[in-house]
Chains A and B, each alone.
Chain A
Amino acid sequence: MSDAGYDKQQAREAGEIARLLSYVLILLASVGLFVSAAAIPTSRFEKLGAGAFPKIVFAGIALVAVIAIIDALRKIPAGAYGRFACQTVAWAKRRALVFVVLGALAVYLLAIPLLGFSIASFLFILSLELVLMPRTPMTLLIAVIVAAVFSFGLNWLFAEVFTVFLPRGVL
């Protein structure tokens, strides 16, 4: 969490806890995947099997994650854990627009196969512009033109010039 909140020290501690959680998650995933790699059958045609390289990599991840966890635990003061939830909510609130953008992207990606590239892109660009822009008649006009050019225009360019056909949709 690379942002300075109202209390920099508390924000830094919360960031360290978030990183600690990520190390734990990575450790658990790497152990699980190591076990999964060990289950890959070996081949009699080669010394190393398909699972050998992944096992080396996941063992490496697990080792570094353990070091990271020890290092993080050493840095985090005991009182910081209690403030973590509060700090996380404050961090997320400051980044509300980020979540809006990622949400819009998710909806857009899911809508492409249904609506087709042109319509989905037009709606995505225009709606995101409406959320992000300073609203004046001029910016509204620009937003509509840009949305049309980079949805229907881009589709035309790829189909006619590059002969790459973007999804047409089913609706």
Chain B
Amino acid sequence: MDSFLSGAAQIFTLATLIYMLAGSIAGIVAAAIPGFTVTMAIVLTLPLTFTMEPLQGIAVMLSVYVGGYTGGLISAALLGIPGTPSSVATTFDAFPMARRGEPGRALSLGVWASFFGTIISTLVLIVAAPPLAMFAVKLGPWEYFSLIVFALTIVASLVGDSVIRGMLAGLIGLAISTVGTDPIMGRPRFDFGIEMLQTGLPFLVVLIGIFAISQLTSEVEDAKSVRSGNPLVTGAIDFQTWKVMKEVLLRPVNLIRSSIVGVLIGALPGAGGSIANLVAYDQAKRNSKDPDSFGKGNPDGVVASEAGNSATAGGGLIPLIGLGIPGSAVDAILMASLMVHGISVGPRLIMDHADLVYGMFIAMAVASLMMLLVSVLSMRLFLRVAEVPKWLIVPVVMVCCVVGSFALNNRVTDLYLLGFIGVAGYTLRALGYSLAPLVLGVILGPIAETNLRRALMTDADPSLFFTRPISLIFLIAAVLSIAWAIRSHLKHRKTSGRSTDAPAS
């Protein structure tokens, strides 16, 4: 109790709260810019915290972290461009909802889902950090590979109009992930002597090119509408924060399930918000009574995605606090920050610095409250984006995409890649390919390959994938997932009386 009070006393000082508020704003704004990730925002914040007390510094970084997971929602909902990889699934329903004249509802749903997702993950973190951390590190490459196989079955939910083109897109994503140095032996692959391909295709540049450039280009397809000065969203913008809060709370099963998915995926080293939002979305769709309404502005889709990605913030801290293993790049930076202050992170952290750990728990809850406060107060300002005419927003956001792509590695060649992938993304979109499976393939490809090869290096016997219990559970889940997808596909064909593989023209 003394440790808890000591941690609380350090958080609830005026200076810490002001710094945290600034961190929340910085996180939200940074993540709203396509290409500017939560990781980058945290890296930029790190030097500013060196002069602070350890807990104060960590609290500020947690504020940026929590704010960042919400910020990605803004461009996802209003522009159809995921601000961060963790808001890819948010574009599926928040964007159509915003386009049909409900951008305020889309943003509010996302903000409240993020808030509750973070709070639920903090509660899980407090209660279950040590046992969950012990479970997470017991997983070997067999379990990770089987988990990724299960995650790849999500493609079935994201295929769009055509199963065949959806599968092709997912496989193309996996193929993109194989370009560059191989993850185990460091052997060059598919670089064709081109220098910029030698280090592989940066995931973020692929994400921006595929989603942002193709979406912005699509905005100008209707020349008449652009030249008449039409904004992104027409009609009055409704904004009812409290009503939407009730709407989110009236979906307790979806909210809790998505948050738990976020916590569990966040707790696995190597996974994170980019996978959690897609898995949570997939689970919401599979458990919905009306799965066909997903992708057309279903509030459940927005809630699932945002609760799922925000809950990874708490989930990621589980192995960090329990075992000293960072679950993601952001957690590694948080760990580095603690080490800068002379605090060694590991299983003894909770024993040696209990006040710090309790302070982190409190900081998570306070950060989510600050995120909510900043989001609710600034929502009207962000919603003005929807009123900006297309002729202004298209060139400006394209420049933001260029900045985001360049700032990642400070490489001009990444810009050429952005242009190429942008054109490819628009072409695929025009041909009726669903782009979400492609991004899923790019995310999951390296994890799948690394764990498959690592597993077979450890033991050449492939039957271990089926004999290790947790691995087997994931594989059974993958089979059930595919069976469910086939069943629902056949059901849909039967009810609609036509093939879902109809041309998209």
Q: Residues of A at under 8 Å CB distance from B? A: 1-4, 8, 11-12, 14-16, 18-19, 22-23, 26, 30, 33, 36-37, 40-41, 43, 45-54, 57-58, 60-61, 64-65, 67-68, 71, 75, 94-98, 100-102, 105-106, 108-110, 112-113, 117, 121, 124-125, 128-129, 132-134, 139, 142-143, 146-147, 150-151, 154, 158, 162-167
Known contacts A146-B396, A158-B403: A132-B390 contact under CB 8 Å: yes
With the chains together, A76 CA to B168 CA distance in Å? 20
Known contacts A36-B190, A97-B223, A129-B391: A112-B175 contact under CB 8 Å: no
Known contacts A26-B168, A101-B220, A105-B422: A53-B452 contact under CB 8 Å: yes
Identify which of B174, B175, B394, B456 contacts A128 (C-beta below 8 A).
B394
CB-CB < 8 A to B189: which residues of A? 37, 40, 50-51, 54
Q: Is the CB of B347 closer than 8 A to any CB of chain A?
A: no
**Most chain B beta-carbon neighbours within 10 Å: one of A30, A41, A95:** A95
Identify which of A40, A41, A109 contacts B402 (C-beta below 8 A).
A109
CB-CB < 8 A to B228: which residues of A? 134
With the chains together, A165 CA to B410 CA distance in Å? 8
With the chains together, A166 CA to B36 CA distance in Å? 14
Task: Quote the shortest CB–CB distance from B318 to chain A (angstroms).
Answer: 30
Q: Are A47 and B456 in contact (CB under 8 A)?
A: yes
With the chains together, A9 CA to B402 CA distance in Å? 39
Q: Are B227 and A132 in contact (CB under 8 A)?
A: yes
CB-CB < 8 A to A162: which residues of B? 44, 407
With the chains together, A61 CA to B182 CA distance in Å? 20
Identify which of B168, B174, B419, B504 contacts A2 (C-beta below 8 A).
B504
Instruction: Provide 19 A-B residue pairs closer than 8 Å at the C-beta atoms, listed in order of the A residue.
Output: A2-B431, A45-B185, A46-B457, A47-B456, A50-B184, A50-B185, A54-B189, A64-B168, A97-B220, A105-B419, A108-B402, A109-B415, A112-B415, A124-B395, A129-B391, A133-B391, A134-B227, A134-B228, A150-B396
Main secondary structure of the interface of A (DSSP, over half): helix
Q: CB-CB contacts of B334-371 with A at 8 A, as 1s and 0s? A: 00000000000000000000000000000000000000
With the chains together, A106 CA to B429 CA distance in Å? 19
Identify which of B227, B395, B430 contacts A1 (C-beta below 8 A).
B430
Known contacts A105-B422, A134-B228: A3-B431 contact under CB 8 Å: no
Task: Quote the shortest CB–CB distance from A59 to chain B (angstroms).
Answer: 10
Q: Is the CB of B498 closer than 8 A to any CB of chain A?
A: no
Q: Is the CB of B198 closer than 8 A to any CB of chain A?
A: no
With the chains together, A128 CA to B432 CA distance in Å? 27
With the chains together, A93 CA to B173 CA distance in Å? 31
Q: Are B426 and A98 in contact (CB under 8 A)?
A: yes
* Chain A residue nearest in CB terms to B449: A53
CB-CB < 8 A to B456: which residues of A? 46-48
Task: Quote the shortest CB–CB distance from B411 to chain A (angstroms).
Answer: 10
Task: Quote the shortest CB–CB distance from B34 to chain A (angstroms).
Answer: 13
Q: Residues of B at under 8 Å CB distance from A? A: 44, 164-165, 167-168, 171-172, 174-175, 178, 182, 184-185, 187, 189-190, 213, 216-218, 220-221, 223, 226-229, 389-392, 394-396, 398-400, 402-403, 406-407, 410, 412, 415-416, 418-419, 422-423, 426, 429-432, 445, 448-449, 452-453, 456-457, 460, 501, 503-505
CB-CB < 8 A to B460: which residues of A? 47
Total CB contacts across the A-B interface at under 8 A:
196
Task: Quote the shortest CB–CB distance from B273 to chain A (angstroms).
Answer: 22
* Chain B residue nearest in CB terms to A167: B412
Main secondary structure of the interface of B (DSSP, over half): helix
With the chains together, A124 CA to B399 CA distance in Å? 9
With the chains together, A58 CA to B177 CA distance in Å? 12
Q: Are B505 and A3 in contact (CB under 8 A)?
A: yes
Known contacts A12-B503, A50-B185, A58-B175: A112-B412 contact under CB 8 Å: yes
Known contacts A1-B430, A132-B220: A50-B168 contact under CB 8 Å: no
Task: Quote the shortest CB–CB distance from A83 to chain B (angstroms).
Answer: 13
With the chains together, A16 CA to B395 CA distance in Å? 32
CB-CB < 8 A to A37: which residues of B? 178, 189-190
CB-CB < 8 A to A52: which residues of B? 453
Q: Are A54 and B229 in contact (CB under 8 A)?
A: no
CB-CB < 8 A to B415: which residues of A? 109, 112
Identify which of B168, B399, B505 contacts A68 (C-beta below 8 A).
B168
With the chains together, A67 CA to B418 CA distance in Å? 31
With the chains together, A15 CA to B13 CA distance in Å? 63
With the chains together, A137 CA to B182 CA distance in Å? 56
Counting from the closest, the 9 A-B pairs by CB-CB distance are A15-B505, A132-B391, A50-B182, A12-B505, A133-B391, A128-B395, A50-B187, A53-B449, A54-B178
Q: Are A46 and B221 in contact (CB under 8 A)?
A: no
Task: Quote the shortest CB–CB distance from B159 to chain A (angstroms).
Answer: 12
CB-CB < 8 A to B171: which residues of A? 57, 60-61, 64
Known contacts A33-B190, A46-B184, A129-B391: A96-B223 contact under CB 8 Å: yes
Known contacts A58-B175, A109-B415: A16-B403 contact under CB 8 Å: no
Q: Are A132 and B394 in contact (CB under 8 A)?
A: yes
Q: Are A109 and B229 in contact (CB under 8 A)?
A: no
With the chains together, A58 CA to B184 CA distance in Å? 19
With the chains together, A41 CA to B182 CA distance in Å? 12
With A26-B168, A105-B419 already in contact, 8 other A-B pairs whose C-beta atoms are closer than 8 Å: A3-B221, A19-B503, A54-B178, A64-B171, A75-B503, A101-B220, A109-B418, A146-B392
